[in-house]
Amino acid sequence: MSSSQNSIDMRDMLLEAVADVREQVRSVILELAEPALRQQVVMQWAQMPQEIKDKLATERPEEYQSLMDYIGG
């Protein structure tokens, strides 16, 4: 294997390692933010007019159920 080939292989390995670390950091940040995000969704839902809640439940029942599962409603 030539020196340039080794350099390319090393660079590829470093780029892959950086991508893996970035993905792990992204996951940790999302996990840490989840409680605040959930609370914000709960607050927004609580302030939403009942007509809109009813319309969502009627017209998009799967999304409504998914939201209810997410916020624990």
* Domain ranges within the chain, ordered by starting residue: 3-71
CA–CA dist 39, 33 (Å, integer): 10
Per-residue pLDDT reduced to its tens digit, 23-41:
999 999 999 999 999 999 9
pLDDT class for 5, splitting at 50, 70, 90? confident
Per-residue pLDDT reduced to its tens digit, 37-63:
999 999 999 999 999 999 999 999 999
Question: Does residue 1 register a pLDDT over 90?
Answer: no
Q: What does pLDDT average to over the chain?
A: 92
Question: Does residue 13 register a pLDDT over 70?
Answer: yes
The angle formed by the CA atoms of residues 44, 60 and 45, to the nearest 5 degrees, is 10
